[in-house]
Chains A and B, each alone.
Chain A
């Protein structure tokens, strides 16, 4: 396997007394799309939110084990959460652009992390919108409220606004579940573009989506990583019967 972007070693996560992730060991390769699948409540979203430590916002969460990103254990004491989240961007299930203008949405990250001069903002906005193929649609509507856009445009904008931070990793938490089939297809195509530069980890309910869009797939069940392999293998000859049962729709 090529370069590793995220590695977990013996990762456990508890919500109070409930153990949501059990002994997860996995290596996510750089510049590929990795899909996490499994039935509701299996821990796939929780696992995704470990990688940018968004679970910290929930009360009573405890984590043990290691998660190594960029050579560093992100749960080591003294880790800077703000720069971790600069490195690891996230796209949410429901498009959630800020209630600001299109332009302000994209420069928000820049100004928060003081990454560029104001004079460079224009170019950066254009570049970010071009990467998500929104520039032609929105170049005359930069000062419009982002809430006026269609759902697909909003979700693209949500991807675009993390790009100026030059993240290494993009986490996507069911990014298409609020979109129609056409918009879903477009976002999947976009992921193929983006993976040239970014490591993408996507949580999805939709097994066809995992099959179409990802290079590797991890199957989680009841907090355990049952199987993790190339997507082609998982979908054609999985090693575990449980994986096969899930893929073929026998449960889940």
Chain B
């Protein structure tokens, strides 16, 4: 038998190293945020925050440059809303089907398929969107270009779907069997049980799934850059080219002068993205806690 002191030392060591890892992850997020703030804030010495957020034109390299990101915010918003409108209903329905209805064999096949979809690199999805979906939308609506907000939404819906389906499916599967038994024993049909009891019980988890899916859509850059046409104009419909916040950073970072106003503006866009993601997570968290109470 080892002396007690050795055990205690070991415990202490394990405890502290776990604590340290926890602190580190928070610490790094803080560092990233501080870095964004430091680089981005120099823009606001020459530019007002309101002009930046609500300015209607983004001409970063004209003289004088104009850094209004309203078109980019609206572009991101439009593409995201479109993607959510497509992926949320389909994703939730698919999760319910896989968790509740599909026979065991089919369930395994479907789950593997969904995981495969998640594993496809975003460039590949963007590429497919560009060469197949784009021309198809162009012909369908008879418009000058197929690279539109709608194309972006559909493409991104494919990327959000695996996240939504797999997390929602986990949440549904985790609903205790007793609830289903009780509903069945009361003479509820399969559908009534699934929709009114199981889906209700799994709602916090399904909401988290949707939020994570949307989070992925907002942050997605490569695919969206390939299929939305990248015109920094205020979009009036889904059938126009748009440019998102993320695509702007990715496309222009390479050509901006380090430390210059354009460079700072791109970092300021980063801050905006950070705040948006933070808000989405916050809302999801709030809701999760409220439903638990």
A99-B200 in contact given A112-B187, A161-B186 (Cβ < 8 Å): yes
Report the tally of A-B residue pairs with Cβ distances under 8 A: 65
A57 at the interface (CB under 8 A from B): yes
- B182 at interface by CB-CB < 8 Å: yes
1/0 per position for A118-158, CB-CB distance to B under 8 A?
A: 00000000000000000000000000000000000000001
Q: Contact check: which of A89, A97, A100, A113 meets B185 at CB < 8 Å?
A: A89
The contact string, 1 if C-beta is below 8 Å from chain B, for chain A 82-93, is 111110011010
A225: interface (CB < 8 Å): no
| B181-A92 in contact (CB<8A) | yes
Q: Output the nearest chain B residue to A49 by Cβ-Cβ distance.
A: B185
Q: Which residue from A86, A96, A97, A158 sits with its C-beta under 8 Å from B187?
A: A86
Interfacial chain B residues near A96, Cβ < 8 Å: 176, 178-179, 181-182
Pick the interface stretch among B30-38, B109-117, B188-196.
B188-196
Contacts of B188 in A (CB 8 A): 82, 108, 112
Task: Give residues 221-237 of B contacting A (CB, 8 Å).
Answer: none
Residues of chain A lying within 8 A (CB to CB) of residue B186: 85-86, 89-90, 108-109, 112, 161-162, 165
Complex contacts, B176 vs chain A, CB 8 Å: 96
Chain A residue contacts of B200, Cβ below 8 A: 98-100
Contact: B185 with A90, CB < 8 Å? yes
List residues 158-187 of chain B with CB under 8 A from any CB of chain A: 176, 178-179, 181-187
- Bound: A54/B193 CA distance, A: 14
Using A98-B183, A100-B200 as known contacts, say yes or no to A82 and B178 having CB atoms under 8 A apart: no
Chain B residues, Cβ within 8 Å of A165: 186-187
Q: Which residues of chain A from 13 to 40 have any CB-CB distance to chain B below 8 Å in the complex?
A: none
Count how many chain B residues have C-beta atoms less than 8 Å from C-beta atoms of the other chain: 17
Which residues of the other chain, B, contact A90 by a CB distance below 8 angstroms? Answer: 182, 185-186
Q: Does B201 contact A (CB under 8 A)?
A: yes
Complex CA gap A44/B259 in Å reads 79
Q: Is the CB of A82 within 8 A of B179?
A: no
A52 CB-CB contact with B under 8 Å: yes
Contact A85 B182 (CB under 8 A): no
A232 touches B (CB below 8 Å): no
A83 contacts across to B, CB distance below 8 A: 187
Task: Judge whether A79 is part of the interface by a CB distance below 8 angstroms.
Answer: no
Residues of A within 8 A of B182 (CB): 90, 92, 96-98, 158
- Whether B187 and A98, one on each chain, are in contact in the complex, defined by CB atoms closer than 8 angstroms, is no
Q: Mark B192-206, 1 if CB is under 8 A from A, else 0.
A: 100011001100000
Write the chain B residue with the least CB distance to A171: B185
A92 to B181, CA, bound (A): 9
CB contact under 8 A between A98 and B189, given known A57-B184, A92-B178, A158-B182: no
A94 sits at the interface (CB 8 A): yes
Q: Taking the complex as formed, is A116 at the interface, i.e. its CB lies under 8 A from any CB of chain B?
A: no
User: In the bound complex, what is the Cα–Cα distance between A112 and B176 (angstroms)?
Assistant: 21
Asked whether B201 lies within 8 Å of A99 as measured between CB atoms, the reply is yes
CA distance in complex: A162, B184 (Å): 12
- Find the residue from A82, A83, A86, A97 having the highest chain B CB count within 10 A: A82
B residues less than 8 Å from A112 (CB atoms):
186-189, 192, 196
Q: Within the complex, what minimum Cβ distance (angstroms) separates A92 from chain B?
A: 6
Residues of A within 8 A of B189 (CB): 82, 112
Complex CA gap A3/B178 in Å reads 33
Residues of A with C-beta under 8 A to B197: 98-100, 108
CA distance A67 to B184 in the complex (A): 20
B193 to A: closest C-beta gap in Å: 9
Give the shortest distance, in Å, between B282 (CB) and chain A (any CB): 23
Q: Is A239 in the interface zone, CB < 8 Å from B?
A: no
Task: Please give, as numbers and ranges, the residues of chain B lying within 8 Å of A54 by CB-CB distance.
Answer: 181, 184-185
Chain B residue nearest to A90 (CB atoms) is: B185
Assembled-state Cα–Cα distance A85/B193 (Å)? 14
B179 lies within 8 A of A98 (CB) = yes
Closest B residue by C-beta to A112: B188
Chain A residues positioned under 8 Å from B185 (CB to CB): 52, 54, 85, 89-90, 92
Sample of 17 more A-B contacts, CB < 8 Å, known A92-B181, A109-B186: A54-B181, A81-B187, A82-B189, A96-B178, A96-B181, A98-B197, A98-B201, A99-B200, A108-B188, A108-B196, A108-B197, A109-B187, A112-B186, A112-B196, A113-B187, A162-B186, A165-B186
**B residues in contact (CB < 8 Å) with A:** 176, 178-179, 181-189, 192, 196-197, 200-201
Cβ contacts A to B, 22 pairs, < 8 Å: A57-B181, A82-B189, A83-B187, A85-B184, A85-B187, A90-B185, A92-B178, A96-B176, A96-B179, A98-B179, A98-B197, A98-B200, A99-B200, A100-B197, A100-B200, A108-B188, A109-B186, A112-B186, A112-B188, A112-B192, A112-B196, A165-B186
